[in-house]
Amino acid sequence: MQLIDPVLSSRLNSTYDQYLKHCPNGALPIHSNPSLTNSQKIRYNTLKKKGKYMLVTNTRQIQDHLPDLLNTLIILLDYLGYDQLYLSILEGPSSDCTPQIIQNVLIPLLRSLEVSDNQVNIVTDEPKIHWSDHNRIEKISELRNRALEPLWLNSNWKKETRSVVFFNDVYLSASDVLELIYQHDKNGASITTGMDWWKKRPEYYYDIWVGRTIDTGDLFYPIDNPWWTPSSNLFHNSPNSKTKYNKLQPFQVYSSWNALAILSPEPFLSPYNVRFRRGDKEKRECAASECTLVASDYWKVGFGKVMVVPSVQLAYERDVASDIQVDLIKQKGDLGWIDGVPPKQSDDKVDWINKPPEKVRCHPWPETNGLSANVWEETRWVDPWLD
Indicate the number of domains in the chain: 1
Q: Which element (helix H / strand E) includes 53? A: strand 52-59
For residue 320, being part of any structural domain is answered with: yes
For residue 141, being part of any structural domain is answered with: yes
Question: Quick check: 309 pLDDT over 90?
Answer: yes
Q: What percent of the chain has pLDDT over 90?
A: 93
Q: What is the mean pLDDT of residues 41-70?
A: 97
Q: pLDDT category, 2, cuts 50, 70, 90? A: low
Write the pLDDT tens digit of every residue in 7-44.
999 999 999 999 999 999 999 999 999 999 999 999 99
For residue 245, being part of any structural domain is answered with: yes
Confidence (pTM): 0.97
Q: What is the mean pLDDT of residues 123-146?
A: 98
For residue 387, being part of any structural domain is answered with: no
Task: Give residues with Cβ within 8 angstroms of 211, minimum separation 6.
Answer: 205, 219, 220, 253, 255, 256, 257, 258, 308
Cis peptide before 271 (omega within 30 of 0): yes
Question: Quick check: 375 pLDDT over 80?
Answer: yes
- Rounded distance, CA 215 to CA 56, Å? 30
Q: What is the mean pLDDT of residues 120-137?
A: 97
Q: If you average pLDDT over every residue of the chain, what do you get?
A: 97
Write the pLDDT tens digit of every residue in 39-49.
999 999 999 98
Query: Which pLDDT score is estimated for 4?
Result: 72
Write the pLDDT tens digit of every residue in 220-232.
999 877 778 889 8
- Rounded distance, CA 179 to CA 217, Å? 26
Domain limits for position 275: 6-382
For residue 1, being part of any structural domain is answered with: no
For residue 214, being part of any structural domain is answered with: yes
- Rounded distance, CA 258 to CA 236, Å? 19
CATH assignment at residue 114: 3.90.550
Q: What is the mean pLDDT of residues 283-303?
A: 98
Query: Which pLDDT score is estimated for 1?
Result: 62
Give the sign of the dihedral formed by CA 385, CA 291, CA 258, CA 235.
Answer: negative
Query: Which pLDDT score is estimated for 328?
Result: 98
Query: Which pLDDT score is estimated for 98?
Result: 99
- Rounded distance, CA 147 to CA 131, Å? 19
What secondary structure letter does DSSP report for 135? B
Query: Which pLDDT score is estimated for 90?
Result: 99
In terms of average pLDDT, the best of 1-10, 164-173, 228-237 is 164-173
Q: pLDDT category, 3, cuts 50, 70, 90? A: low
* CB count in 10 Å sphere of residue 180: 27
Instruction: State the alpha helices, DSSP H only, in 198-340.
Output: 239-246, 290-300, 318-334
Cis peptide before 202 (omega within 30 of 0): yes
